[in-house]
Chain A
Amino acid sequence: MTTVPLALLLITSLLGLGYIAATDPKRRRAFGQTKLETRPFLWPARGAVFAPGVLLLLGANWSGFTIWAGAVTVLGWIMAAIAPSSYAAAWRRLRREGQNRWHGAMSQVLVFAAVGVARARRAVHAAASLFRQWLRRPATHESAALHARVAALEARLEALENAQGAGTPTNPVSVQATLNAAE
């Protein structure tokens, strides 16, 4: 399974876990938060947590399922280990930064950042690929020598095949091997 679909499935599970954690009665009580009367999205959230795993199992993607299960337990632990006050403080800081520095919504900044990172990543990959190709280009004289060598080997191979044509049948393995060597 490629990384992006797996990451999306993980995010789905973590969003579900996030809702369950944020509305968990014992967690709220332990950290002095107000008691919630109802948890309207509890079952959809539970569904979001487990549905990706079920999907992966139905698709017989055993390695994807194992990675998903492992990642959910590790990230779920980290998510639960952070106290609600830390989340609130981080959110307040994000909002303050957003209002003071950029005069806009944080979501906009995040979208711009994500697009920028993706573009930069593509550009770096393309540049590195071009640079690699440029470094590995064969020199003109090397290329000519290579062509001459291939021509000589092909001629030799033809002579060998002609010689063997009258006697023993040509062994395809040795022909393939000679061609490989010539290449």
Chain B
Amino acid sequence: MSFVTQGKTKRLLAVHGWAGTLLGLMLYVVIFTGAVVVFEKEIDTWARGSLVPEAGIGTQVDHHFRVAAREVDRTFYENVSIARDPSGALRYLFRGHEEGPEGEADVVVRLLVDAETGDVLERWEGPAGELPQDTASALRDFWIDLHVQLYLPNPYGLILVGVLGLMMMFAAVSGILIHGHLLRDLFVSARGRARLLGARDLHILAGSWGLPFAVILAFTGAFFGFATSVGLPAMSMLAFGGDRAAIEDTLFVDEGVVDLAPAPTAALDFVVHDAMTRSRAQVSSIAISNYDSAGAKLLVSMTQSPGSLVTQVLAFDGVTRRFEGVRPLIGQEPSWGSTLLDLIIPLHFGNFAGLASKTVWFGMGLAMAFVTATGMLLWTKRRETQPLWRGFRRWITVTVWGVPCAMLISAVAYFLTLPAGDPYFWTPRAFFAACVVILGSGVMRQEVEVVLRRATALLCVLLPLLRLLTGGASWSEALLAGVPIIIVLDVLLIATGAVLLRREKPRSVHGSLREPAE
């Protein structure tokens, strides 16, 4: 039984189709890159060849931290954080303020310290905005940037991705209303891929199964798109007279006057043990405000405890080590908003239960990308007699195969330029150059799909080899260091390449137009 009348269904279908067609290509890029960057940590470990197993900050941090902190001026003790760097070292970040020619400016001291020996591996001091990027993370950062804001400048990219999230939500909801036989068709697979009916079955089947998570991912994605680009500035305009610092203080910083009299900060190792006992999880980072003063506060961020979706931040008195409670993500007191935000983060990133949850989120991301692509192909297939729609159909095919191919080419550029130290420059440029070539070949050639599929397959197979040749960790090194993810990703890439090469015919939705759409 349909929920709406036939006339309304037609209008809804038109809006559903047009919205999907106009922004669908960009939505596909966002969804596909999102599915890939679910494994952002693993991709980073694989790309940089890190041989340090993923871990929190450990349980013995106090001594090394105190020794390192002695070498930093007290003016930087205002905000201190301890976290694990992607390279495996411990990263101590000291933040303070300095009077400059243009007024007060944020200044940081960053120390990278060997977690075992406490040796300072690297020291950097300067304005917070000029903190150097870790060149080895260029590939991960670029792919994340592509997903989060389509590599557009702030805030335009975020707003655009937020709009795409809203559009995806609308498409999901309108899809339910249009279809009406959701449960009845839940097991009907494509009846002949070459037929229009088959294309429709493919789209509806994937859309129906992925519906709940499509709504969740779209909503959370739209939230992330709009939260900092529109929501926070709008709130600061309405309630704080445009003072961005004031709203951030209210949301994230303790209120009250801080006692800055010198007093030794409590032993961090005891705090770490206390936090781990309370939350049955590992410590991911520690933030210390006003280190070595009587008003010091410790905020200990934990990983997810077993069975839990959300992470906790535990607050301790910085001097007495007294537990002060679980700190909400925003605001000073627990609230619905903070709880909702607590849930939004794991539900969007899928990082709440290690590789198991990430694998499921990756699968759901691919399913959503499939729904987007089949939806656009179905829409254009119904209008294939018109040359404009036929041309657009080729662009869809080129985008569907071109995005993974261009991403792999950006990875090739990353590995080739990593030894020279400038992958942040070349990785995005290689991607966009590949996009131009792929789109150009799509305009020139009729059957570009086969070429792109083969190129993608070859790149998948060659990438692990290139990683090794450019100084990446070998399989035996990875196995001995207890970092099997490097081998897993290599094998997955080779297997994907082999599967793509084995497929004789590309699965396109060409066929007769005379058949009804049921």
Contact = CB atoms under 8 A, between A and B. Distances in A.
Interface string A75-112: 01100111100000000000000000000000000000
Contacts of B363: 70-71, 74
Nearest to A66: B309
A58 interface: no
Interface in B161-188: 184-188
Contacts of A131: 480
B212 interface: yes
A181 to B, nearest CB: 6
Interface stretch (B58-66, B136-144, B465-473): B58-66
Contacts of A66: 309, 346-347, 352-353, 357
B23 interface: no
Given A62-B308, A176-B269, 18 more contacts: A24-B187, A64-B307, A66-B347, A66-B352, A67-B360, A70-B357, A70-B363, A73-B212, A73-B213, A73-B367, A74-B363, A74-B367, A77-B205, A77-B206, A77-B209, A80-B189, A131-B480, A180-B62
A132 B480 CA distance: 6
22 contacts: A1-B306, A24-B188, A26-B184, A26-B185, A26-B188, A63-B307, A66-B346, A66-B352, A67-B353, A67-B356, A69-B212, A70-B213, A70-B361, A73-B209, A74-B210, A77-B210, A80-B205, A173-B264, A173-B266, A177-B66, A180-B60, A180-B62
A94 B297 CA distance: 64
Interface string A1-44: 10100100000000000001100101100110000000000000
A63 B213 CA distance: 15
B190 A81 contact: yes
A61 B356 contact: no
B189 A67 contact: no
B307 A30 contact: no
A107 B153 CA distance: 58
Nearest to B356: A67
A80 B209 contact: yes
A60 interface: yes
A83 B364 CA distance: 21
Interface of A: 1, 3, 6, 20-21, 24, 26-27, 30-31, 59-64, 66-67, 69-71, 73-74, 76-77, 80-83, 128, 131-132, 135, 172-173, 176-177, 180-181
Interface string B262-301: 0010110110000000000000000000000000000000
B360 A63 contact: no
Interface residues of B, number: 44
A176 B367 contact: no
A128 B60 contact: no
Interface in B34-83: 60, 62-63, 66
Contacts of A31: 191
Nearest to B362: A74
B377 to A, nearest CB: 16
B492 interface: no
B367 to A, nearest CB: 6
Given A67-B353, A80-B189, A61 B213 contact: no
B188 A30 contact: yes
Contacts of B206: 77, 81
Nearest to A75: B363
Contact of A135 (B264, B347, B356, B480): B480
A180 B117 CA distance: 11
Contacts of A128: 479-480
Q: Which are the 7 A-B pairs with shortest beta-carbon distances? A: A77-B209, A74-B363, A70-B360, A177-B63, A173-B267, A24-B187, A61-B307
A60 B264 CA distance: 41
Nearest to A17: B187
Interface string B470-483: 00000000011010
B304 interface: yes
A103 to B, nearest CB: 29
Contacts of A20: 187
B367 A27 contact: no
Nearest to A25: B184
Contacts of A64: 307, 353
Contacts of B205: 77, 80-81
B62 A76 contact: no
Nearest to B181: A26
Interface in B291-335: 304, 306-309
Contacts of B213: 70, 73
B353 A82 contact: no
A143 B223 CA distance: 56
A48 to B, nearest CB: 16
Contacts of A30: 188, 191
A74 B189 contact: no
A71 to B, nearest CB: 5
A66 B210 CA distance: 14
Nearest to B343: A62
A167 B92 CA distance: 34
Nearest to B192: A83
Contacts of B346: 63, 66
Interface in B329-356: 346-347, 350, 352-353, 356
Nearest to A177: B63
